[in-house]
Amino acid sequence: MGVITKISLEDVQLHFECQTISSSTNGVSDSVYFLDDEYILKIFESKDPLAVNEEIKLLSICDGLKVPKLIKKGFFIHDKPALIYKKCDGKSLEKATKNNLEEIGKFLQTFHQKTAQKKSQNSDIFAKDALSRLIEIANHKPFFELFSTIDIVFQNDGIIHGDLFLDNATFLNDKLSCVFDFSEACNGDFYFDLAVVALSWCENNENIGTLLESYGATIEVKDFIHYIRYAGLYYSVTRFLANRNFGELLEKIHRL
């Protein structure tokens, strides 16, 4: 998460009482600010109220899970829809331990149980036809070659997070404290959702096995690798199109 829309303290105080405001420095999709170091302000750069309503609905479905607590909704800043959440305790990881993998695997299992067969109005941005269109736009030969080797039939299992990289979760005292940033949430395949976690959190097949076991998955590691390769390709393509570093992801999936 990062900042695209520049705002002042006065802009926020029109809607929410706070004394300090500071900007996030990570990510590119939506603008994120810290208020009094206790709350998170998220400005949706798509300007689409539908995306905001879908996030509100999803957080309601996930009531009881370790997800952000919504503090204020239904307002606009600089004509863009915004939400305010309670800031999550803990910090994001740089590297996941076995315990961390077990925690996130169990979280995702429960999350999917709550979202199974639920419908999101957001576009399924992770579908194979959507990725194929992005690869055509990128026109980068390695993407075409890798895409042709991935043989997966995706299921429409329910609502997925889609972007659960290490920096979208926090831990406190080695316990999962929060999973956040549901901007990419849409209908999709649960194994793809788990594969995004594996792509970011797992360094070897042993780690992947730990993740699959904690999630309660029945798929074998050798078959699950195809989902990880697909997830890696998707995020390599989107990073390429955003002029961000994508080489590390490509290298990782070629090692699988």
pLDDT at 4: 84
Domain 98-255 has CATH 3.30.70.1140: no
Q: What CATH architecture is 9-86?
A: 2-Layer Sandwich (3.30)
Provide CB contacts within 8 A for 133, sequence distance 6+: none
- pTM to 2 decimal places: 0.93
> What is the SS3 assignment for 238?
helix
pLDDT in tens, 207-236: 999 999 999 999 999 999 999 999 999 999
Task: Give the DSSP per-residue string, 16-77.
Answer: S--S-EEE--S-SSSEEEEETTTEEEEE-TT--HHHHHHHHHHHHHTTTSSSPPEEEEEEEE
Give the N- to C-terminal CA distance of the chain in Å, as an integer.
28
pLDDT in tens, 136-152: 999 999 999 999 999 89
Q: What is the dihedral of CA 242, 179, 157, 223, to 10 degrees?
A: 70
CA distance 223 to 205: 12
The tokens of 22 are what?
A: 């500071």
pLDDT in tens, 144-194: 999 999 989 999 999 999 999 999 999 999 999 999 999 899 999 999 999
pLDDT in tens, 11-52: 999 999 999 999 987 655 789 999 999 999 999 987 678 889
Domain boundaries, the chain: 9-86, 98-255
Task: Give the DSSP per-residue string, 129-163.
Answer: HHHHHHHHHHT-HHHHHHHHH--------EEE---
pLDDT (mean) for 112-140:
96
Per CATH, 9-86 and 98-255 having the same topology is answered: no
> What is the SS3 assignment for 15?
coil
CA-closest candidate to residue 202, choices 102, 66, 122: 102
